Structure 1
Amino acid sequence: MTYPSSKSLDHLGLVAGFCKDIQLAQYIDDALGGSNERKVSFGQLFVAMLLNGLGFTGRTLHMYSEYFESKPLDRLLGEGISADDINDDALGRCLDALYDKGVSSLYQGIGERVVNHLGLDCQAVHLDSTSFHYDGQATPEGEFGHIRIAQGYSRDHRPELNQVILNLICENQSGIPVYMKPASGNNNDMEGFKQIVKAHIGSLKAAQASRYLVADAALYVKETIEELDARGQLFITRVPQTLKEAKALVTQAPILLFTPISQGYEGVSYDSEYGGVKQTWLLIRSEQAYKREQHNLNKRMLKAGEQARKSFKQLSQQRFACIQDAQSAIVKWRSKQTVCDVNARAIEVTVYANAGRPKRGELPTRIEYQITGELCTPLISRQTALHQLGLFIIATNDVSDDLDMASLLSSYKAQQNVEKGFRFLKSPDFLTSAIYLKKPERIEALLMVMTSCLMVYASLEHQIRKTLKDKACYFPDQKKKPSQTPTARWVFQCFENITVLYQAEHIPLVMNLKERQHIIINCLGDVYRRIYS
């Protein structure tokens, strides 16, 4: 006698539906090659890893079989697949095959399929990087080819741990990653961005037809912007305020005529030819940043004042052989101060042969000099600092009239889409911010899997929002008010407790479907209806 059983479908049907919509498993199988010896193809295993990643369980490879025991694999992956088929050996071979094929080029092909499927125009793409710490030993340089697990600047504030770097390029409308590139843990952003520009920006531009490449200040390196301009690639990037020309522009801020751009922002344009590339610089003052930095300025000035007091105390305890040495020391101390100044002078100190009080009539053996004075904080120092708060510079080599100040600022601010994706990848509910695999090759492949999870998540969110608006439908938000812009996470949560009931000699029955879930399913189309029917 066969007893009825149930499997948890939940939101995984949405993930599987999107993978089927873009024929992701077939694309992976065509790229990696099929084999009659495998019961589950590499493409199906790849989709299984996405289902696990977007199941928000954080399970490692050897626990996949256990995870899929409670899932309706016939609907998610295909008929005849059991949980035991999705084991760590099969998944490891899949990761190895992904690495051998080249994860960056393989992922770029997936990104092209997604962009075409969603009909995105990709006016701009955004480049950024982050790090993932690794719970294991570092690898010797050059031993494993492309990436090296090593210590480096940690975005997680864990400098004691080894790590790997992930570079992402995302399109500007929905934040979907269209390109990914793993890098060694000690890789510098400036060097990494330079390599991506030289090796891949041409093919990416041809595939996505993106007009602008947007990035933070790490892209603004002389060699990199020269390369971009030579390739005809327009860029929008933040200018490091450590540059001499940038410092000079910020210093002139009090006398410049700023124009309102949008709420809380005002700016002024400036022509530059840094690196031999004709550019427009936009000096922007942010009201919100000004308030935030003003609070930080007070703290910095107090800290700098205390440090100045301690350093001057040490200076005043020193003895100098001549007055010229003492005056030179005062000048040197002043040159290191950013906040404080001193009304200092050198005084004579008589030195006798013996310690203690000199005898009557005893003459000093020599005259030394000691520094004394009163510290102060000039008001002009604070006023100058206040005038430079909330300022940042954006540069572009688009010197035509097509890009006004508002568009330039808006394009740069969309950079937060990449940072939003990094927060998603590092969420405790996702795979994990740490990597446990031992082989660097498989770590590189796993980074591709993680990026593909972000791609599916962002794509579903974009598609749901677009179809809700196109069909004039609404989905209830957390306050049960109609909305056309739900997050994918909220939609996933609303699909909890959907199960498939299996009974002998009966058609499987999908249970616990509610009206709000039907809204999403009907908007997304037939592929999703078949999974949830």
Structure 2
Amino acid sequence: MPTPSYQIKNLDHLGLVAGMCRELEIAEMIDAVVPKQHDCHVTHGQALVAMLLNGLGFHSRTLHMYSDFFATKPTERLIGEGIKPEHLNDDVLGRCLDALFEADVSMLYQVMAERVVKKLGLRGDAVHLDITSFHVDGDYDHEDEGRLQLVKGYSRDHRPELNQVILELICENQAGIPVYMQAMNGNTNDQKAFAEIAKNHISCLKAAQNSRYFVGDAALYTADTLIALKQQGQLFVSRVPMTLNEAKTRVRSLSVDDLTDMGNGYAGQWQSVTYAGVKQRWLLVRSEQAYQRESHTREKHLARDTQAELKRFDKLCKQAFACEADAQQALEAFSKDLCLLEIDQPKIKKRPSFKGKGRPKKDQQPDGYVYHIQGHAITSLEKVANVRAQTGVFILATNDLTERLDMQGLLDTYKSQQSVERGFRFLKSPEFLTSSLFLKKPERIEALLMVMTCSLMIYAALEHRIREQLKAQDKHILDMKNKPTQKPTARWVFLRFDGIHELHINEAIPIITGLNEQQQIVLQVLGKRYLEIYS
């Protein structure tokens, strides 16, 4: 009797990724725009799906190692009939990246995202803008100004010695799906990038996503951006940078007694403001959590700033003034500028002035008189109390002048900005593709950034679909503490799908092994397409 032949392929959570790619018709969308031009086994759409599987397989591999990654994976089950690991080589994947670049990655991705959002039935009321950087290895030619410039700039990875590329994302706020991506030069300024988006892209995004609010962090709040948003009739929600004099003045004059309790450690106050010609409502928010978090740093700053003001007063007292009026004016200006101290019993002292060197002779008449400031600099308990009260305070701004957004609504809209920040953390995770890029051509790096954004789209779509269907069908899976949940992260679900294999015995039809009850629940709520992949 011949010895049976066994072959095992690792399926794990990759069947979920493949299922979502099929549900969203990722390969079909790509092949409709960039059909393959060469006689090869893999279309550009299938090559993109392969890169998404690799990116979400949490095994960072460069292009020439993709065949190694798929050597242990059931490629026909995941990508398509007849697809073998050796077909997924660096030449095929490189040509796919070139084709994506030629098709304009930003425009192509935006069209894809519009269809994905529609397929998932998402109806978010806001889109969120943010920006991050990835450092790149190797030297690049910067002579062509039309190409992506991989140069040094402000490094969010704390690697200022390396060249980098900037990725700008706009995400909808219901599932965190990126709806727009743009690769930019490594030295791009955040504020200028946000203004460019507001001027040239927000109108088409507004039409496509039907979002009411455009949300961003403090980099969004510039005069140019606000004017551009006003011209397009776009409502915004943004954090106000505390570097603005108007913001400093408003916070400095804020009284804790005037704040309205919002619950959960927040209190706020509405104020009407006009900035850059745009009428707005500012919400001054005090966070008890931020207050406690910043308390230690605040006390250090109080001690430092108090010493600085004492030194300034000592220097002022040594300064000679030509007349009493000048001294009084300088004293008033100094006192007005004090943040922590106050001058007790101030007075102007008249002193004789003698020309020449040495001690003046007895009964020598002075050549003139100078005036010095005297007094005692003491800590103002009221000012210190105000500084402490201002700790943990930030300002949110919106040009929605209706009462549609109450205090809590504005805060919640801004805090959903975490969806795009969570996406960046996912992209920069060491378990993902990589935080550093290794491709030789800037064009391929730009295309790879689109692939990374597509990976985030699939990840967010899966998480949304699993949560949505668990709730709709009133089912649960166990979380990390073995408690039932209807809101698992996609990362946790991926971990729970570890240990699923495709088993080949001789020429028999392959079978799936390792499925347990928790995995069956996820597959059942996701539906027939996913059950077929795992059957």
TM (normalized to structure 2)? 0.89
Equivalent position of 2:440 in the other structure = 438
1:497 counterpart residue number? 499
Aligned to 1:422: 424
Alpha-carbon contact 2:321-2:372 (below 8 Å) kept: no
Q: Which moved more, 1:246-255 or 1:97-106?
A: 246-255
User: 2:112 maps to what in 1?
Assistant: 110
Change in 2 beyond 3 A, CA 1:483/1:249 = same
Identity %: 50
The corresponding residue for 1:302 is: 303
Deviation at 1:379, TM superposition (A): 2.6
Match of 1:23 in 2: 25
The whole-number CA distance in structure 2 between the counterparts of 1:158 and 1:375 is: 45
Using a 3 Å threshold, how does the CA distance of structure 1 residues 319 and 291 change in structure 2: closer, same or farther?
Answer: closer
Deviation at 1:372, TM superposition (A): 10
- Taking the TM superposition and a 5 Å limit, the aligned residue runs for 1:37-48 are 37-48=39-50
The residue type equivalent to 2:151 in the other structure is A
Distance 1:155 1:68 in 2: 33
Residue 280 to residue 331, structure 1, CA distance change in 2 (3 Å): closer
Query: Where in structure 1 do 4 or more consecutive aligned residues deviate above 4 Å?
Result: 305-313, 318-354, 366-376
> How many residues in Structure 1 have an aligned counterpart in Structure 2?
526
Distance in 2 between the 1:215 and 1:298 partners?
30
Structure 1 residues 111-510: aligned runs within 5 Å: 111-137=113-139, 140=142, 143=144, 145-254=146-255, 257-305=258-306, 339=340, 376-510=378-512
109-118 or 514-523, larger mean C-alpha shift: 109-118
Q: Answer yes or no: is the 8 Å Cα contact 1:166–1:183 preserved in 2.
A: yes
- In 1, distance between residues paired with 2:40 and 2:338? 69
Amino acid at match of 1:418: V
Q: Separation in 2 of the partners of 1:91 and 1:232?
A: 42
SS of equivalent residue, structure 1 residue 278: strand
Q: Which whole-Å CA distance do the structure 2 matches of 1:526 and 1:98 have between them?
A: 31
- The change in CA–CA distance for 1:100 and 1:341 in structure 2 (over 3 A counts) is farther
Distance 1:333 1:92 in 2: 66
Whichever residue aligns with residue 160 of structure 1, its letter is: E
What is the CA–CA distance in structure 1 between the aligned matches of 2:155 and 2:352, rounded to whole Å?
Answer: 52
Q: How does the TM-score come out when normalised to structure 1?
A: 0.89
Query: For 2:201, what is the secondary structure of its paired residue?
Result: helix
Preserved CA contact (<8 Å) 1:349 1:370: no
Q: Which amino acid aligns with 2:266?
A: Y
State how far apart, in whole Å, the 1-side matches of 2:299 and 2:248 are. Answer: 21
Q: Deviations for 1:495-524, whole angstroms, at most 9, x for unmatched residues? A: 111110112320001111111111111111
* One-letter amino acid matched to 1:172: N
Residue 329 and residue 279 in structure 1: after superposition, are their counterparts in 2 closer, same or farther (change >3 A)? Answer: closer
Contact 2:9 2:74 in 1 (8 A): yes
Q: CA deviation at 1:242?
A: 2.5
Q: What RMSD in Å do the two structures reach over aligned CA positions?
A: 3.2
Q: CA 1:377/1:23 → structure 2, altered by over 3 Å: closer, same or farther?
A: same
Identify the range of structure 1 (239-248 vs 437-446) with the bigger mean alpha-carbon deviation. 239-248
The answer to whether the Cα contact below 8 Å between 2:8 and 2:504 also exists between their aligned partners in 1 is yes
Shift of residue 284 of structure 1? 1.4
Secondary structure of the 1:517 match is helix
Unaligned runs of 5+ in 1: none
Per-residue CA deviations over 1:354-409 (Å, capped at 9, x if unaligned) read 9xxx9x99x9xx99999999765433331221232222221112112322222111
Deviation at 1:282, TM superposition (A): 1.5
Q: Take 1:294 and 1:59, find their aligned partners in 2: how far apart are those partners?
A: 44
Offset from partner CA, 1:448-471 (integer Å, 9 cap, x none): 111111111111011001101111
User: Residue 258 of structure 2 aligns to a residue in which SS?
Assistant: coil
**2:5 alignment partner AA:** Y
AA matched with 1:187: T
